[in-house]
């Protein structure tokens, strides 16, 4: 009997791009892809932290380079993807939060979150897919969305709006790019201990809310996301597109 074989998670010989790779979840994604053998082009706005991250990856024997990028600048995204692409894997972990009640949210904060979390994600996806389709690459685009793309949360109407927008955008793009074998999906974490989540997790009242909602009884760590990005980037997920992988410890289960 010929047994079926689990498709490989290896990314050997592949080129990957990670936006938001200088810290937090994005750095975890960059390391996860490099561990599977990809060369990883790492991007963020601040070059000091990004350079430090890439140097630490080199010490571990990973193949990585640093490039400066603000995903809120559409022209810069287009130039970078044209100059450094095409990529087999593109991960977008560049995102911000400006938490406040809906009644206290300023228009400036609304715009800043939407410019990065939605417009940035849109332009990056389109330019990444353009390069993949032109080169005939069966690529994988992965956005770090959030459980807040599936439910609401307190003091985060704009953040939730940005992540729900991302979820819809990914489904529509999956329909357009499926025939080209370009896949696009989201990863939706619960609260993960990173600098971005500190404003919530450092506050005892907000932390109690978080812990009461996560059925597995703890806040997430960066490592909790790394297996998911390796899976969605690899041939192990070739039939997966237009969907989201919730890493929420059961938050959205009820």
Ligand X SMILES: NC(=O)c1ccc[n+]([C@@H]2O[C@H](COP(=O)([O-])OP(=O)(O)OC[C@H]3O[C@@H](n4cnc5c(N)ncnc54)[C@H](OP(=O)(O)O)[C@@H]3O)[C@@H](O)[C@H]2O)c1
110 carries an active-site annotation = no
Q: Helix, strand or coil for residue 217? A: coil
80 binds ligand X (CB under 6 A): no
Of the two residues 8 and 79, which places its CB atom closer to ligand X in the complex?
79
* Phi and psi, residue 41, nearest 5°: -90, 115
44 binds ligand X (CB under 6 A): yes
Cα gap 93→30, rounded to integer Å? 10
Q: C-beta of 161: minimal distance to ligand X in Å?
A: 12
Helix axes 24-35, 47-59, angle to 10 degrees: 30
Q: Which of residues 200-229 bind ligand X (CB under 6 A)?
A: none
189 binds ligand X (CB under 6 A): yes
| 221 contacts: CB under 8 Å, gap ≥ 6 | 192, 193
Q: Give the chain's radius of gyration (CA, Å).
A: 18
Site for ligand X (CB under 6 A): which residue of 35, 45, 114, 209?
Answer: 45
* Phi and psi, residue 151, nearest 5°: -135, 175
70 binds ligand X (CB under 6 A): yes
186 binds ligand X (CB under 6 A): no
User: Can you give the binding site for ligand X, defined by CB under 6 A?
Assistant: 19-26, 44-46, 49, 69-72, 93-97, 116, 120, 144, 146, 189, 191-192, 194-197
């Amino acid at each position: 009997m010929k047994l079926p074989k689990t498709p490989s998670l290896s990314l050997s010989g592949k080129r990957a791009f990670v936006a938001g790779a200088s810290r937090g979840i994005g750095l975890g994604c960059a390391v996860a892809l490099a561990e599977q053998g990809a060369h990883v082009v790492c991007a963020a706005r601040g070059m000091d932290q990004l350079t430090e991250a890439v140097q630490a990856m080199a010490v571990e024997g990973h193949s990585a380079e640093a490039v400066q990028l603000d995903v809120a600048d559409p022209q810069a995204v287009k130039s970078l993807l044209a100059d450094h692409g095409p990529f087999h894997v593109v991960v977008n972990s560049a995102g911000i939060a400006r938490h406040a009640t809906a009644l206290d949210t300023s228009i400036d904060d609304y715009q800043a979150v939407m410019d990065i979390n939605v417009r940035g994600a849109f332009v990056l996806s389109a330019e990444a897919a353009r390069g993949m389709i032109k080169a005939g690459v069966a690529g994988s685009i992965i956005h770090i969305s959030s459980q807040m793309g599936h439910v609401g949360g307190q003091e985060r109407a704009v953040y939730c709006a940005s992540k729900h927008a991302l979820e819809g955008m990914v489904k529509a793009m999956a329909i357009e790019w499926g025939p080209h074998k370009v896949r696009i999906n989201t990863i939706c974490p619960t609260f993960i201990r990173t600098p971005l989540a500190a404003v919530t997790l450092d506050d005892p009242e907000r932390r109690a809310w978080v812990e009461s909602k996560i059925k597995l009884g703890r806040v997430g760590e960066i490592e909790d996301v790394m297996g998911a990005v390796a899976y969605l980037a690899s041939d192990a997920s070739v039939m997966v597109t237009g969907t989201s992988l919730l890493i929420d410890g059961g938050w959205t289960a009820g």
